[in-house]
Structure 1
Amino acid sequence: MLGRGIDQILPYPVDPRLYESYMRSALGYVDLAERRNGPIPEEVPFSYVWGDLLADLEKRACDLRVINLETAITTSEHPAAKQINYRMSPGNIGALTAAGIDICTLANNHVLDWSEEGLTETLDSLDRAGIGRAGVGRSAEEAAQAGVAEVTGKGRVLVIAYGSPSAGVPEGWRAGPDRPGINLQPDSIDATVSDIHARTDGLKRPGDLLVVSIHWGWSWGYFIPDEQRAMARALIDAGAADLVFGHSSHHPKGIEIHRGKPILYGAGDLINDYEGITGHEEFKPDLGLAYIADVALGTGKLERLEMIPYRRHRLSLGRADAQEAAWLADMLRRESCLGGMALTQDAEGSVLLSPAGTPER
């Protein structure tokens, strides 16, 4: 979430005015973070908010970088009537290009926070920056299309994105034949599987990897509803997903390996401006994970999943300390269904998931 307080510390922020009952200026969230952890530099470079993550990604030579972007990119002055309205300036699009983002999924409960005008400006901003997208569009047809990214010498990744009413995505945000909006998830497993096949069967080539992104569920808590488990497993069983990228919870939740393929039920927030907000301390809300998935060419099966722990500090990402990393590892052991894979930690605190007996590398 690169809007609101995050946007205000970047070089070209929008008007900080908010319509929240709690806070009337986005600068208030900067103030909360500074009260918690100390001064934040003015007009930080675009790379600042990513902190230690950028060097970690470079070290791992990641082929593709996919995020759920949970803010509009707009100067629109027409907020949706929902009080919590996220936006970042189009002038700060460099915060995405600095991280080498390839595809943004956008089917979430904040992309239309500044009306259809804000959504179309978001699409235009991403298109000008050459960043792929999935889950929203100027029409229902465009919103349902897969984002496609070529990985040179290896194949392609196709990304289908849905927003679910269970995460507070309004029905009124559904894209129409000639109306901008979100690709809302169909209301049954069979309909979702059929929809994905209709969108990808004529597009997918042998060796392509299919990622299904779903913005679903509650903000807090580790419980995973039976319907989410059934949906995610069915997508893999039907060949409609090689990786299920679930999000909405503000903290990481348990993962599952099903038939050798990963399900992230709640990836958790990576970047937000919640630093300094109290409450929900039992979930360690300042901690987040970046997920590095190595998959086998041809089969899409998971070979290794590295989960790198970070702590949000002065609106930037720093590596979590040993105690924080161990807490996250313990949570993942407790809450996950690992399908015969082993969960370990390396010397830097990363949580590693690999077939039992596989040596660390």
Structure 2
Amino acid sequence: MPEPEHIGELSSPASALTVFLCGDVMTGRGIDQAFPHPCPPELHEPYVRDARDYIALAEDRNGSIPRPVGLDHVWGDALAELARRAPDVRLINLETSITTSEAWWPDKDIHYRMNPAHVACLTTARIDCCALANNHVLDWGYEGLRETLATLRSAGIATAGAGAHLEEARAPAVLDVPSKGRVAVFSLGSESSGIPPTWAAGVDRPGVELLADLTPTTARHVGARVRAINRAGDLVIASIHWGSNWGYQVPSAQREFARALIDEAGVDVVHGHSSHHPRGIEVYRERLILYGCGDFLNDYEGIRGYEGFRGDLTLMYFVTLEPTSGRLLSLRMTPMQVRRFRECRVSAADARWLQGILNREGRRFGTHVLLEEDDTLTLQWS
């Protein structure tokens, strides 16, 4: 007899806890230039030398971007959706250094930074926590990392995954949710996402929490850190920057590691990112695994070459969990489209396109999605 199918509204008592997740948030380079107080526009890329060129590319594609834009501009229609869904916790992977440092990392081709004066672009969306174990947080050197951490902390935004030394980089962000418990966020990075090995934090060296590999032994090491801080009823999220930018394949090593984090480390949600478009979704032992959330905010809309992946289409993930057990109660996703550096609600046709992709890629994981009347998507799993 087949197992019953779960259709989002499985059970969502008043005590249920909802987390907003999304993919990479990049508010530097062209976006920073559109804000009121941009960093100097000079770039150290092989082909583009002026960050304002990314504004021009976006305008060629979708029309004029009035400048300067307000610091809430990039979120667009996403702000209303956040207000409607009212998640208890808001977590993003921030793929931008927040600094005025000029010490760009010499062995990298791409460097993202945003002026600290623009940090309100994050607080306007009431972001609670930024995962930082990624391949851009050190783009402007150790001084850039120091200023990024200081700026986020001054703004009241928790961080995980990067720090002044290994202990700080490994420490989770622990977020208190009144009357519902705590959410612990561990931010982890993999070299497969392009993180330079030299960025690994050391005992007395700043850097990111860089995983040695994706083996069960490494998952158990993460588990030891989870147990060291875990209280009964805590929810644990592992936010992982891993894998390629393009393509739908989920390597077996990623799938095995995600499951090991659940089995060996007591993780309740695996929040995977680095891919520029959404990948398949799995529910394993009633725990959610997002292998690739896709980009959410960036200045890429005028860049050509991968149009078939529809990188302009993004997803807001609203994950509802049972606090006492960590089991998944529902996953609802709101599709958006980036136009003129702003999140906009999608057409019905684009929502159907995303549904088709998630169903095609979710088939191997036993998941599919329903398209609701308001063009949002609801996960089903067996």
**TM class by shorter-chain length?**
over 0.9
Mark the runs of 5 or more structure 1 residues left unpaired by the alignment: 357-361
Structure number with higher relative contact order (C-alpha < 8 Å, ≥ 6 residues apart)? 2
8 Å contact 2:212–2:218 — kept in the other structure? yes
Structure 2 residue matching 1:159: 3-state secondary structure: strand
User: Aligned match of 1:176 in 202, 206, 210?
Assistant: 202
Change (3 A) 1:124 1:133: same
Q: Work out the CA distance in 1 between the residues paired with 2:83 and 2:363.
A: 30
8 Å contact 1:73–1:121 — kept in the other structure? yes
Q: Work out the CA distance in 1 between the residues paired with 2:235 and 2:61.
A: 42
8 Å contact 1:47–1:99 — kept in the other structure? yes
The equivalent residue for 2:287 is: 261
User: Aligned match of 1:72 in 82, 92, 97?
Assistant: 97
1:185 corresponds to 2:211: yes
Name the count of aligned residue pairs.
356
Bigger shift: residues 308-317 or 335-344 = 335-344
Q: Work out the CA distance in 2 between the residues paired with 1:296 and 1:340.
A: 21
1:326 corresponds to 2:352: yes
1:284 deviates by 0.8
Residues 136-177 of structure 1, C-alpha deviations (whole Å, 9 max, x = no match): 000000000011111111011101111101111111001111
Q: Work out the CA distance in 2 between the residues paired with 1:339 and 1:268.
A: 18
User: Aligned match of 1:44 in 61, 64, 69?
Assistant: 69
Residues 334-360 of structure 1, C-alpha deviations (whole Å, 9 max, x = no match): 10158666621111211111467xxxx
Q: Work out the CA distance in 2 between the residues paired with 1:345 and 1:296.
A: 24
1:348 corresponds to 2:368: no
The equivalent residue for 1:229 is: 255
8 Å contact 2:98–2:144 — kept in the other structure? yes
1:96 deviates by 0.6
Change (3 A) 1:267 1:341: closer
Q: Work out the CA distance in 2 between the residues paired with 1:151 and 1:211.
A: 14
Normalised to the residue count of structure 2, the TM-score between the two structures is 0.91
Query: What does 1:188-203 correspond to in 2, within 5 Å?
Result: 188-203=214-229
The equivalent residue for 1:3 is: 28
The equivalent residue for 2:268 is: 242
The equivalent residue for 1:83 is: 109
Change (3 A) 1:338 1:349: farther
8 Å contact 2:97–2:136 — kept in the other structure? yes
Q: Work out the CA distance in 1 between the residues paired with 2:342 and 2:358.
A: 24
User: Aligned match of 1:214 in 227, 233, 240?
Assistant: 240
User: Aligned match of 2:54 in 29, 35, 41?
Assistant: 29
Aligned AA for 1:104?
C
Bigger shift: residues 198-207 or 126-135 = 198-207
Identical aligned pairs, as a percentage?
A: 49
Q: Work out the CA distance in 1 between the residues paired with 2:325 and 2:283.
A: 15
The equivalent residue for 1:136 is: 162
1:300 deviates by 0.9
Q: Give 4+ residue runs of structure 1 displaced > 4 Å after superposition.
A: 337-342
1:191 deviates by 2.9
Residues 247-296 of structure 1, C-alpha deviations (whole Å, 9 max, x = no match): 11111111111111110101100000001111111101111111000111
Residues 184-212 of structure 1, C-alpha deviations (whole Å, 9 max, x = no match): 01324233222222222131111111000
What is the root-mean-square deviation of aligned Cα atoms in Å? 1.4
1:336 corresponds to 2:365: no
User: Aligned match of 1:115 in 141, 154, 158?
Assistant: 141
The equivalent residue for 1:62 is: 87
Normalised to the residue count of structure 1, the TM-score between the two structures is 0.96
8 Å contact 1:255–1:337 — kept in the other structure? no
Q: Work out the CA distance in 2 between the residues paired with 1:43 and 1:350.
A: 31
Q: Work out the CA distance in 1 between the residues paired with 2:245 and 2:37.
A: 30
8 Å contact 2:281–2:365 — kept in the other structure? no
8 Å contact 1:138–1:181 — kept in the other structure? yes
1:20 deviates by 1.1
Query: What does 1:84-103 correspond to in 2, within 5 Å?
Result: 84-103=110-129
Q: Work out the CA distance in 2 between the residues paired with 1:28 and 1:273.
A: 10
8 Å contact 2:162–2:208 — kept in the other structure? yes
Structure 2 residue matching 1:194: 3-state secondary structure: helix
Q: Work out the CA distance in 2 between the residues paired with 1:226 and 1:206.
A: 32
Mark the runs of 5 or more structure 2 residues left unpaired by the alignment: 1-25
